Amino acid sequence: MRVENVDVYYGDFRAVTEVNLEFGLHEITALIGPSGCGKSTLLRSLNRMNDLIDGARVDGEILFHGENIYSKGVDPIEVRRRIGMVFQKPNPFPKSIYDNIAYGPRVTGMKVESMDDLVEESLTRAALWDEVKDKLKQSAIGLSGGQQQRLCIARAISVRPDVILMDEPCASLDPIATMRIEDLMQELREQYTIVIVTHNMQQAARVADRTAFFTAQVSEGTGARTGVLVEYGTTTQIFEDPNDQRTEDYISGRFG
Ligand SMILES: Nc1ncnc2c1ncn2[C@@H]1O[C@H](COP(=O)(O)OP(=O)(O)OP(=O)(O)O)[C@@H](O)[C@H]1O
Ligand SMILES: [Mg+2]
């Protein structure tokens, strides 16, 4: 997946500008940077989630298997099936555990030989099956936060995406649940390409193959803040040998 010259606007406000990035197949890429620098905005543009926000507009190209996902004729629903998303706050549907997983395959009309098998497979991959296999008919709302987040990951993979986008997926979880999600990401990356936004730099250092550092640049004339990509590289390079002073200041905690 490749981001080419992307700007994202909300009305007249340019939230992110001139981003060029490439996400490696079966790699985990972390997007890091201070609050308001446009990480979530960019992440949402990767599967056309911004389409759902009034006034949001994406310029430039996001190439997925070589095709611009914003081209005319591309179905945004199909884009979101192939590029799934997991949010900061676990957001299970107020339905049974089983129906949470079966929902996506049903509404997208996926051909499924056995829904029971697909539900089991998705929950197993998300490392949740053993904890819920005896209560699939119970409401997902009754699960713990960490379980709910794994359920949301299972829901995202039930429609067999290629890419999973995660926006601070551990922000509302305790350290043990966080560790489980991080372990899970390591397993999932064998089959999926993962892009994760995180404020936790240790987390980026632990899980990501590559890291992209963003910051908000303030225009001298207008004082407008725009998110820019400062630097992108292997996680080791970004954390141990950054090229840009702004990256170094941020990762060493000198920022703001
Ligand atoms: N729906 C929206 N409508 C208008 N402006 C928005 C919208 N969402 C975000 N913005 C603006 O775009 C800029 C980038 O916001 P974004 O949420 O992408 O930042 P972020 O890097 O994810 O921050 P955080 O780390 O706090 O989550 C901010 O100035 C924000 O106010
Ligand atoms: Mg955000």
Q: Decide if 74 is inside a domain.
A: yes
**In this predicted model, what pLDDT tens digit does every residue of 31-80 receive, in sequence order?**
999 999 999 999 999 999 999 999 999 999 999 999 999 999 999 999 99
Q: How far is the CA of 40 from the centre of ligand 2 (A)?
A: 4
41 lines ligand 1 (CB under 6 A): yes
Q: Decide if 115 is inside a domain.
A: yes
Q: How far is the CA of 68 from the centre of ligand 2 (A)?
A: 24
Q: Decide if 162 is inside a domain.
A: yes
Q: Which residues contact 201 (CB under 8 A, 6 or more apart)?
A: 32, 239, 251
Q: Decide if 151 is inside a domain.
A: yes
Q: Decide if 256 is inside a domain.
A: no
From the alpha carbon of 41, which atom of ligand 1 is closest?
A: 18
Look up the CATH number of the domain holding residue 195: 3.40.50.300
**In this predicted model, what pLDDT tens digit does every residue of 158-167 receive, in sequence order?**
999 999 999 9
Question: What pLDDT, on the 0 to 100 scale, is given for residue 23?
Answer: 96
37 lines ligand 1 (CB under 6 A): yes
128 lines ligand 1 (CB under 6 A): no
Q: Are 156 and 84 in contact (CB under 8 A)?
A: yes
Rounded-to-integer distance, Cα 119 and Cα 97, Å: 9
Domain interval for residue 6 = 2-251
Task: Identify the residue whose C-alpha is closest to ligand 1 atom 3.
Answer: 10
Task: Identify the residue whose C-alpha is closest to ligand 1 atom 2.
Answer: 10
Q: Decide if 135 is inside a domain.
A: yes
**In this predicted model, what pLDDT tens digit does every residue of 143-200 receive, in sequence order?**
999 999 999 999 999 999 999 999 999 998 889 889 989 999 999 999 999 999 999 9
How many domains does the chain contain in total?
1
How does residue 222 score in pLDDT terms, banded at 50, 70 and 90? Answer: confident
Q: Decide if 203 is inside a domain.
A: yes
For the CA atoms of 78, 32, 36, 155, the dihedral, rounded to the nearest 10 degrees, stands at 30
40 lines ligand 1 (CB under 6 A): yes
Q: Decide if 231 is inside a domain.
A: yes
